[in-house]
Amino acid sequence: MSAWQRRLAMFSMCLALFLSALDVTIVATALPTISRTLGASAAEYAWIGSSYTLATTSSNPIWAKLSDISGRKSILMLSNAVFMAGSLVAALSQSPSMLIGGRVIQGLGSGGSLVLVTIIIGDMFELKDRAKYYSFIGIVWAVASCVGPILGGVFTERIGWRWCFWINLPFDGASIIVLFFALNVKWPRVPVKDALRSLDWLGCITIVGGTICFLYGLETASSGLREWNSAFVLCLLIFGVLLLVLFFFCEAYFTKNPIIPVRIFRSFTNVASFSTVCLHSLVFINCDYFLPLYFQVVLRFTPIISGVTLFALVIPLSIFSGGSGLFIKKTGNYLVPIWFGAVMMTLGTGLFISFDATTNWAKIIVFLIIAGIGSGPLFQSPLIALQSHVQPKDVAMASSALSFARNLFTSISIVVGTVLLQRTLGGANLTVSTRTTNSTGSESLASQYVTALRVMWTFYTAAGGLLIIMTLFIKKKNLLGEKGATTSPDNEEGSAATTRNMRE
């Protein structure tokens, strides 16, 4: 590919990634209006938001395997088309069930975009250059996460909540067109018969089934629809875990072409890299979901002001995400950004514990800046560490597994944070209006929220401490002068190896 083609391809992939990340949070401020308009029940209200992340998480490994079989470009375009179809269904929804169905289709397409962008960057660039491009992913994800609630609020108040989904169609369509002309990642063609035979069907069934059961059980209990000790919830959680254990057992001993090669976990450095990504996702997502809750319920900010305030987090995050990528490219050292990010993010999260019911702008801005500085380097540095320690043939699957783990722990984090709040609040409504009267009852509710949020942020700070410990087990490897570990347009040896594996 020429330089301009690579730039266009990166732009179109980042655009697709932005839309996928945007739809995680854009419905947050629109949900009350959507629920009222469509007459959604409490269960349907919960699933309008969570069905998207569940579908995204469970489909990650399958999209990655399909791209190994049919090629990166075609599968990425297919995932974008699926996302567009889901957006269209959601925008035209006339019932909660139809909207949930649209969100599931959106999530399936999003799962492909999230994992394939990571894999294709690995195909296009040498290992020492990838950090710079992976930093773009962190920036795009952070900006989309914080812009989402603002756009959702503006669309709902000005032109209607359906524009939360209409907005995806023109931009995703443009992304597909640009990908068609600009992206040129060579990959061996495999006959359909051989492709279907090589696909790990048992792995697909067990990982999707296990993920859905486990997350469905968490969502059902955390939303208050069922008790945690109910047979329904316990069965979902237990069978979900058993199916995931069965998946890894089958991948290790019975599958010839596994979705996630278990051999990548035999290195403790790889385990530490995975743990770092998981704990980063666990801690970081509280900024997107629970800081707006603090701003709107306790400090009584409007949704728009709440979103704008988060730019104190986004701007330093973007700067240090990009800066860490350039640092790795120049020095070949990924450990310094990882250690620095883990310490700073844990410090920033710990400082959140001191937030109270008064608006102290200096404290808010400084604490958000510290958390943003720490979060930025951890989006791409652990991925570089993992890719530098796996075999070339396993890079795509390792990246897919990492993306799956990141999304899974993001979903788990939201549920755990919600449970901690509900337990401390004694069942108070987490979506209470921010524009209530200045009564004694309102002040009492704000005080309760401050106490509950402190408990939650203490948990996330402890998780940050564990994150710091895990980063100490990642081994150093100098990336300067090393070639890319995955198949690239100029690497025909990797393509030939893949073809032989498919035929076998």
Q: What is the per-residue pLDDT for 504?
A: 39
Helices 440-471/335-352 angle, 10° precision: 160
Q: How far is CA 6 from the centre of its chain?
A: 24
Count of helix runs (H) and strand runs (E) in the chain: 20, 0
**Residue 117 region, left (φ>0) first, then alpha (ψ -120 to 50), else beta?**
alpha
Q: What is the per-residue pLDDT for 503?
A: 37
Read off the tokens for 38.
Answer: 């469509």
Q: Distance between CA 321 and CA 459 in Å, rounded?
A: 25
Which residue in 122, 126, 199, 59 sits closest to 501, CA to CA? 199
Q: What is the per-residue pLDDT for 65?
A: 74
Domain ranges across the chain = 3-199+257-503
Q: Distance between CA 315 and CA 402 in Å, rounded?
A: 25
Q: How far is CA 61 from the centre of its chain?
A: 14
- DSSP class of 265: G
Mean pLDDT by 10 residues, the chain (504 residues): 77 86 77 78 69 79 76 86 93 90 91 84 74 75 76 80 90 88 69 67 81 78 76 90 88 77 83 92 83 83 77 86 83 90 95 92 94 89 85 75 79 78 65 47 76 92 95 83 41 38 38
Which listed CATH number (3.30.70.60, 1.20.120.160, 3.40.50.2300, 1.20.1250.20) goes with 3-199+257-503?
A: 1.20.1250.20
Q: Distance between CA 415 and CA 409 in Å, rounded?
A: 10
Predicted confidence (pLDDT) per residue in 218-249, tens digit: 777 766 677 878 899 899 999 989 998 898 88
- DSSP class of 437: -
Vertex 28: Cα angle to 25 and 32 (nearest 5): 160
Which residue in 71, 70, 81, 73 sits closest to 9, CA to CA? 73
CB atoms within 10 A of CB 173: 13
Q: What is the per-residue pLDDT for 355?
A: 93
Q: What is the per-residue pLDDT for 294?
A: 86
Q: What is the per-residue pLDDT for 295?
A: 85
Query: Cα–Cα distances in Å, from 406 out to 60, 281, 309?
Result: 10, 6, 25
Q: Distance between CA 327 and CA 319 in Å, rounded?
A: 12
Q: Which residues contact 140 (CB under 8 A, 6 or more apart)?
A: 14, 17, 18, 21
Vertex 143: Cα angle to 138 and 146 (nearest 5): 125
Q: Which residues contact 160 (CB under 8 A, 6 or more apart)?
A: none
Yes or no: say if 495 and 187 are a contact pair by the CB < 8 Å rule. Answer: yes
Q: Distance between CA 445 and CA 468 in Å, rounded?
A: 35
Q: Which residues contact 346 (CB under 8 A, 6 or more apart)?
A: 283, 374, 461, 464, 465, 467, 468
3-state secondary structure 36-54: HHHCCCHHHHHHHHHHHHH
Q: Distance between CA 420 and CA 391 in Å, rounded?
A: 41
Read off the tokens for 403.
Answer: 């993306």
Which residue in 471, 445, 482 sits closest to 275, CA to CA? 471
Which residue in 329, 304, 341, 283 sits closest to 461, CA to CA? 283
Vertex 158: Cα angle to 157 and 159 (nearest 5): 115
CB atoms within 10 A of CB 433: 11
Report H helices in 2-95: 3-25, 31-38, 42-70, 72-91
3-state secondary structure 335-391: HHHHHHHHHHHHHHHHHHCCCCCCCCHHHHHHHHHHHHHHHHHHCCHHHHHHHCCCC
Query: How buried is residue 296: exposed, middle or buried, by Cβ count under 10 Å (0-12/13-18/19+)?
Result: buried
Predicted confidence (pLDDT) per residue in 24-67, tens digit: 778 766 776 787 788 876 667 667 777 887 788 778 777 877 87
Q: Distance between CA 378 and CA 468 in Å, rounded?
A: 11
Q: What is the per-residue pLDDT for 124?
A: 78
Q: Distance between CA 12 and CA 135 in Å, rounded?
A: 16
